[in-house]
Amino acid sequence: MSKFLLSSIEQNLDEFYLKCSRHPNFEFMDTDKLKWVRAKNADWPSCIFHANFNASDLHLEIEQVKRLIRAEKAPDGWTVGPLTTPKNLGKSLLDHEFSDAFHQAGMALDLSKLKITPSINTALEVRIVENEEELSNWANLVSTVFHIKVDNELLGYLHSQSEVKFYIGTFNEKCVSALLLYLIPEIAGLHAVSTLPDYRNNNFALTMSDRALLDARILGYKYGVLQASSMGQYVYKKLGFKKYCDVITYSLSGE
C-alpha cells in the first residue's frame, strides 16, 4: 500500500498539470522522457515534471533542457518526486546549476481513517464554488496569497470538469480561504490550499481540507494526497496524513 500511495502523490499532481496543459492558453510537452506545462498569460501552473531519463544520458538531457529554459522555450521550475527516473535526478540538477527552490512533503491518508479533530472552525462557512462570481473570488484570493497571476479562462475550463472541485471559505461574509480538489480514480488531491494572511491561525485551512476530503470520501474516493510546506505538515497531521516522500522544485540559478 505504501508504494501505491507514494506513486499516487505525484500522479495526482502530474495529471492535474496535464489537464491544465490541454487548455489553449498553455504550451506543453508530453513525451515518454519529459513533460511540462507553461502558461502563456499567467504564472500558474508552469512546471517541468515526470522526467524519465536513462542514467547514461542524464548529463546530456539536463543540458538540453537548460538550453530550452534559457531560450524561454520551457518553464524554469522542475519538480522532482517519487516517480522521477533516475532517482538521483535532483542531485544531478544541483550539479548542473539548478538550486533547490521549493521543498514540500508528499503526504497521503486513507480516507476511511480521516480523523475527527476538535480543531475544526465551525465559524467558517465552506462551500463548493458554483458560479462565476465565486470563481472570481477564488482566483483573487489564491492570487493574493501566493503572489501569482492566474488564468481566469483556465479556471473556467477546470470548473466545467467533473474531476475538479473548487472550494471557498467565508468568515463574517468575507472570502478568506480556498482550495482545489482534483480527483483521479481512488485518489483525491488537495491543491492551492490558501488563507488570507490576516485570517491565519484560525484553523481555516484545516477546516477547508476536512470538508473537501469528507466530500471525496462520500463520493467513493479512498485516499487523500497533497504536497505540504513544513508549516502545512503540522496541519495535515491533525487529519491523519503521513509523509511518504519529498517533492522538490528546482530552479535554474541566475534565471
Predicted TM-score (pTM) of the model is: 0.95
Taking only the tens place, the pLDDT of each residue in 144-185 is 999 999 999 999 999 999 999 999 999 999 999 999 999 999
Delimit the domains of the chain by residue range: 2-104+248-252, 110-247
**CATH class held by domain 110-247:** alpha beta
What one-letter code names the amino acid at 175? C
The confidence score (pLDDT) of residue 1 equals 60
Answer whether 223's CB lies under 8 Å from 110's CB: yes
How many CB atoms are closer than 10 A to CB 187?
A: 23
Q: Between 117 and 173, whose confidence is greater?
A: 173
pLDDT exceeds cutoff 80 at 255: no
Place of cell 529554459: 69
CA-CA distance, 83 to 9, in Å (whole number)? 9
Q: Span 85-102, mean pLDDT?
A: 96
C-alpha R_g of the chain: 18
The confidence score (pLDDT) of residue 188 equals 98
Query: What is the grid cell recorded at 95?
Result: 550539479
pLDDT exceeds cutoff 70 at 254: no
Taking only the tens place, the pLDDT of each residue in 23-40 is 999 999 999 999 999 999
DSSP 133-151: HHHHHHHHHHHHHHT--B-
The confidence score (pLDDT) of residue 135 equals 98
Q: Span 73-96, mean pLDDT?
A: 96
Query: What is the grid cell recorded at 79?
Result: 519538480
Q: Span 197-225, mean pLDDT?
A: 97
